[in-house]
Structure 1
Amino acid sequence: MTEPPATPDPVPGRTGPAAPPADPGPAGVSVRARGLGHRFSGTADLFTGLDFDLLPGEVVGVCGPSGCGKSTLLSILAGWLPPHTGTLETTGIERTGWVFQNPFGVPGRTALDHVVLPLLAKGLDRAGAETLAGTAMADFRLEAVRDRPFRELSGGEAQRLMLARAVCSAPDLLLVDEPTAQLDLRTAGTVNRTLGAIARAGTIVVIATHDPHTREACTRVLDLAVAAGASSGGEDDGEDGGAAGAAAAGGRTPAPGAPPDGGAAP
């Protein structure tokens, strides 16, 4: 299989190979789930016995119908919601970023201010932060709105802004909820390619999505519909290896205490 061409690193301050790296081993960055199961009080099991591994260089799509629990899987991966059964082991994950489907920002602050903030928090001066923030915004086609107040952004622009902001925080694990739901095909393609480049630069990227184009752009897919069928005794249709090769979770909202602005979790 031909490796993809090298792509300029879109993550300020992060370096890495253009192609997905090999298994980093025990000392590397990884997420390992074994026997993962979850249910809410008074409900049946949403999923049980799920095994999967996440490594840098991957863009993993979490797919399935509305209400199947994609957001709760992200909550479990972020460490904000403990699974009901099983274990989730993270290695080398020092910073987790989450970009929500419904972005939040400061109405009167400019788009550039939002992206500059995590860079200033890392100790950069304003001029250097603006340069790096401008590069990240260009990756998501936001050059034209850099000086526009957040309240004047469209839904799609605001969501892409939160992606640019999360990139500037340089997370080890980036969780993204429906990044292309409000975008036209051309812009969605740009977002998908940029998320792929972020992964190749050394980040684990996990995307909850209904979009078939985003699904196709992922390195691999954890199909919750397949996992739910397997955990309830349904037949395995062969996609993604059934329950052992898929992830499933339930719920609709991030756990209490989740950061409201789509930035990196503390």
Structure 2
Amino acid sequence: MLISLERVTHAFTGGHELFQPITASFARGEMVAVTGRSGAGKSTLLAILAGSLRPSSGEIRWSEECRVCWIAQRPRGVPGRSALDHVALPVLATGARRLEAERRAAELLDRVGLSGASSQPFETLSGGQAQRLMLAQGLAAAPDILLVDEPTAQLDQRTAAEVDAVLGLLAAAELLVMVATHSAATRASCSRELTLEHHVPSE
């Protein structure tokens, strides 16, 4: 197993725990739907898994040193910059030369089905294209774990299905993909589901 959670939960200062403690393990090759009502703590759990937030209780164990990429709900980019540039930039940040960075970026765009849009400015991309661009940009960091927050929330049914299919392919390539979602279709495309249960404070 790549990650093991032992009774992990979180409470912000002065508040109750968001969700009941979680004990579970996750492996490479899995696509996990993180579900629960609005406010259940799905994004909070992703933040904990990303290492940007310490759980208020419980323990997380890693079987190896992992690189984690967290993709936020709303795609963000520079309007006039091309899709290729958005993906090449994090590769350049590793010290790669420009030609090598662009070659790697082109490979990643092809991997998420965006090879035909590599020269398009960010502002001209459709919602589904922009979401897939964020996935390609995240992959440029060569993560072991991909955390994705509501990737299909703003998309129509057909475009959402395309994004779900890409996520499934990424998981099959030996990444651990964890998707916070309200979508029944996204849940159905995942290999398992982790439902955050509302924590009922004790009297």
When the two chains are superposed, the root-mean-square deviation of aligned CA atoms in Å is 2.0
Q: 2:200 aligns with which of 232, 235, 240?
A: 232
Equivalent in 50, 61, 73 of residue 45 of structure 2: 73
Q: Can you list the C-alpha shifts for 1:89-121, whole angstroms capped at 9, x where unaligned?
A: 223243111111112222332111011122333
Q: How does 1:1-266 map to 2 (within 5 A)?
A: 23=1, 30-224=2-196, 227-228=197-198, 231-232=199-200
Q: Note closer, same or farther for the CA distance 1:49–1:64 as it changes in structure 2 (3 Å cut).
A: closer
Structure 2 gaps of 5+ residues are: none
Distance 1:93 1:102 in 2: 28
Give the letter for the 1:232 counterpart: V
CA distance in 2, matches of 1:84, 1:49: 10
Q: Report what 1:12 is aligned to.
A: none
Instruction: Count residues with an aligned counterpart.
Output: 201
One-letter code of the match for 1:164?
A: A
Cα 1:93–1:215 change in 2 (3 A) is farther
What is the percentage of aligned positions where both structures have the same residue?
Answer: 47
* TM-score, L = length of structure 2: 0.88
Task: Give the conservation status (yes or no) of the 8 Å contact 2:112–2:166.
Answer: yes
**Contact kept in structure 2, 1:93 and 1:172, CA below 8 Å:** no
Flag the 1:135–1:186 CA change in 2: closer, same or farther, 3 A. farther
Separation in 1, partners of 2:172, 2:112: 17
The alpha carbon displacement at 1:196 in A equals 1.6
Q: Is 1:59–1:219's contact at 8 Å kept on the other side of the alignment?
A: yes
Partner of 1:47, secondary structure, is coil
Say whether the 8 Å CA contact 1:160–1:179 is kept in structure 2.
no
Deviant stretches of 4+, over 4 Å: none
TM-score normalised to structure 1 length: 0.69
Contact 1:93 1:173 in 2 (8 A): no
Give, as a single letter, the amino acid of the residue that structure 2 aligns with 1:32: S
